Amino acid sequence: MRSGVMALDTGSVPEEFRDHPDWKDPAPSIAEAVTLGEGLRMARDASGKSLAELSTITRVHTRYLTALEQNDFSILPSRVFSTGYVRAYAGALGVDEQLAVERFKRECPDPSMPLQAPVGVAFEDVRRYSPRLIAAGLALVLAVVGWNVFQRVSLMRAPHPSALTATPESWTLGAVPGQDGLMRLSAPQPAPPDQTVPAFYITPGLEAQLTGIRPGSAEALAAAAADAAPVQKAFNPRGAIYGASATASQVVLQARKAASLVVRMGDGRVLFARQLVAGEAWRAPDGVSATIDTSDPTAFDVYLNGEHGGGLQAVLTPLSQLNSRAQALARQTAAAVAARTEAREAAAIEAQAETAAPDVIPG
């Protein structure tokens, strides 16, 4: 053996220590025994004490100590007392009390405690599947982020020049668009169906020049009276409009305040039902036989051919009655316009004839 190297400690006790009068062999470890009872018995033999002496020390009956050494746990009392006996017996023998108690619990399990899953197996399962779970979570996060990025990129388009502001390359500074250098306008669009066209204004004193009617004549007075007719209030949408389209309706009901409106067909079916607020309106279709039922007739204004025609007179009103009024007013207006046009044309012809006739000089 080289100098400076210590010998391996094998755990053997030198003989000079064993020859000492105060030397005692250490109690055998409870963990090295095959069973708990075998370990307790070996510890008692090493201590040199009898069961009677240990019963006096531990205050545990000798039959219970014997049952512990023989691993006969069936004659032991309740679980709490049995654990106390093991702890007291191990302490009296000089062995590890906690180790003895743990081995007793392992060799004599409590039947009242439910079985639990082994912690080691669950941990191994989690450790085995954790990389897969982490990979799946990362893949899901990447998919969500990628989808959002794709959506944002697909919605981002390069700005296109407006058709009104784009300038063709063929244009030059100072040039006017058009084949012959003139600006062309499209035909005028018709007025909206829900609006009215203001009456043509004639400056007083210029009736003859504009209409061919002599001032002060009967035709001029009739035309002035016709033009002076009061203009009814036109329909003005101030909210949602339900029902038929503007081209397929002559009757409009508009709510002045909140009220219910129910329109029933002749066979009992409901054509329209709603709680209208102020400003909302309903267009009645033409040629439909129905009855208007409202909670408050004074809450609705009736518009015939776009002009105000009063209000509802009763809670129940036949729709055919309102459509008939609208058609009669339309025929009336058309007849008045035709008569006015015919009178103006006749007066213009008469004025032209008088202007063309030679003046007669008296002799």
Question: CATH code at 30?
Answer: 1.10.260.40
End of a domain among 65, 92, 107?
A: 107
Residue 72, CB-side half-sphere exposure with 13 Å CA sphere = 8
- Final residue of a domain: which of 107, 141, 171? 107
Residue numbers of the domain that contains 235: 194-356
Task: Please state, in angstroms and rounded to a whole number, the distance separating the CA atoms of residues 5 and 23.
Answer: 30
pLDDT at 9: 38
Asked whether 202 and 210 are in contact (CB, 8 A), the reply is yes
**In this predicted model, what pLDDT tens digit does every residue of 260-287 receive, in sequence order?**
889 998 888 888 999 899 989 999 888 8
Note the helical H segments in 156-268: 207-211, 218-227
Last residue of a domain, one of 80, 107, 134: 107
Is 18 domain-assigned? no
Q: Are residues 209 and 306 in the same domain?
A: yes
Other CB atoms within 10 Å distance of the CB of residue 204? 7
Q: In this structure, is residue 251 part of a structural domain?
A: yes
Tell me the C-alpha distance between 14 and 110, whole Å: 45
Cα(13)–Cα(63) distance, rounded to whole angstroms? Answer: 36
Residue closest to 279 by CA, chosen among 246, 299, 254? 254
Question: Is residue 236 in a domain?
Answer: yes
pLDDT at site 343: 87
Consecutive 10-residue runs of the chain (363 residues): their mean pLDDT? 38 54 59 84 89 89 88 85 88 88 86 59 57 90 92 72 54 53 70 62 59 53 50 79 86 89 88 90 87 88 87 86 86 86 86 67 52
Which residues have CB under 8 Å from 358's CB, separation 6+?
Answer: none
Q: Do residues 203 and 349 both lie within one domain? A: yes
Rounded Cα distance, 253 and 34, in Å: 103
- pTM metric for this prediction: 0.35
